[in-house]
Amino acid sequence: MVKKTIQKKKKLETKKKKQTKKKEEIKFIGKVTKIRQTEPRTVIEWPRTLTHVHTYGMLSPFFKGLREGKLMATRCPNKNCPENRLWIPPRAHCPDCHTEMTWKTLPNPVIGKIYSFTEVVYAGIGIELSTPYWQVDVELPGLATIPKSYLLYGKPYIGMKVKAEFRTKNPTNTVLDYHWVPYEK
C-alpha cells in the first residue's frame, strides 16, 4: 500500500514538472508595492533610487585644482573683448565673444570679502554640511563674479575679510572642496 502511494506521488510530480516546463509562466520578480492609504482614494508608494553620471567637462581643472589646494579661475584671452576679468564659477567659453578661456591659479592665500550671506537652518534632503551653517557669497579682487561657498566657522557680516581653505584630505570631489575662514590681521 505504502509503496503504491509513493509511486503514485512520483508519477504525479513528474507530470506536474512536465506541465510547468511546457507553460513557462512569467514570474513577478519585483517588490510588492505598498499601499499608503485607501481613503479617500488609493495611494501607493513608488520608491526611487538613482545614480546619474555627470561630467565636469572643460571645467574639470577647477575641481582637480580644489583637491590640490588651488583656486582656479578662467579669463578671456581675446584682447578685443570688453570683459577681461576673471570668472569663478569658471566658464570654458567667454559669453561676450565666445573665445575659449584660459586658466589662472589665484595665488594663496586667497583673501576675499563677504558680499552677502545666509544661515542655512532648514536644508533640503541630501545636504552634505551639518546644519545650521553659514553660506557666504565672497567678492574677490579681479573677478567679474561673486562665488558662493560656506564659512567653516565664525559669524559672517557684509564686508568681513575671509581666506580660502581647501579640503585636500578626504576631498568630496565637488565644489564643497573649498570654503572660507575668517581672516583678521
Partner 1 sequence: MITFKEGNLRIPKWNRKVFIVAGGTTAYKKYFPEYKLEELAMIAFKNMLEDNDLKMDPLEVKGLINFATYGEFADHFQDQLLCEAKIHDYLGLDPLHNLGIKTGGATGGSAILAAAMAVASGYADVALAAGWERMDEVDTRTGNYYIATAACKDFETRLGRVYSSYYAPMANRFAETFNVSEVTRAKIAVKNHLYACSSPYAQQAGKYTVDEVLASPMSAYPLRFLECCAMSAGAACVLVCDEETAYKLTDHPCELFICGGTHTLRVADRRHMEVPLLPHETPGMYKDLYGKEGARYPGFESFLASRFAAWLVYRMADIKNPLEDMDLVELHDAFTISDLQTYGDIGLRPYGQEQDYIESGDAYYINPNTGKPGKCPSNLSGGLIGTMHAVGATGIFQAAECLWQLQQKYDKFHGDPKIWKKWWKEKPKDWQSLQIPKNSKQALWVSHAGVGSHVTVGILRKSW
Binding residues vs partner 1 (CB under 8 A): 37, 40-41, 43, 46, 48, 54, 56, 59, 82-83, 87, 89, 96, 115-129, 135, 137, 144-150, 158, 174-176
Give the residue from 178, 113, 179, 104 showing the smallest Cα distance to 140.
Answer: 113
- Beta carbon of residue 81, minimum distance to partner 1 (angstroms, whole number): 10
Please tell me whether residue 73 adopts helix, strand or coil conformation: strand
Total Cβ atoms within 10 A of residue 134: 20
Of residues 118 and 168, the one with the C-beta less far from partner 1: 118
- Beta carbon of residue 33, minimum distance to partner 1 (angstroms, whole number): 14
Residue carrying C-alpha cell 563674479: 145
- Beta carbon of residue 67, minimum distance to partner 1 (angstroms, whole number): 15
Of residues 111 and 175, the one with the C-beta less far from partner 1: 175
Of residues 107 and 126, the one with the C-beta less far from partner 1: 126
CA 161 to CA 113: how far, in whole Å?
5
- Beta carbon of residue 95, minimum distance to partner 1 (angstroms, whole number): 9
Of residues 7 and 131, the one with the C-beta less far from partner 1: 131
- The count of residues in the chain is 185
The H or E element spanning position 133 is strand 133-139
CA 39 to CA 146: how far, in whole Å?
51
- Beta carbon of residue 115, minimum distance to partner 1 (angstroms, whole number): 7
Of residues 102 and 131, the one with the C-beta less far from partner 1: 131
Phi then psi dihedrals of residue 171, to 5 deg: -65, 155
> CB–CB of 133/118 below 8 Å?
no
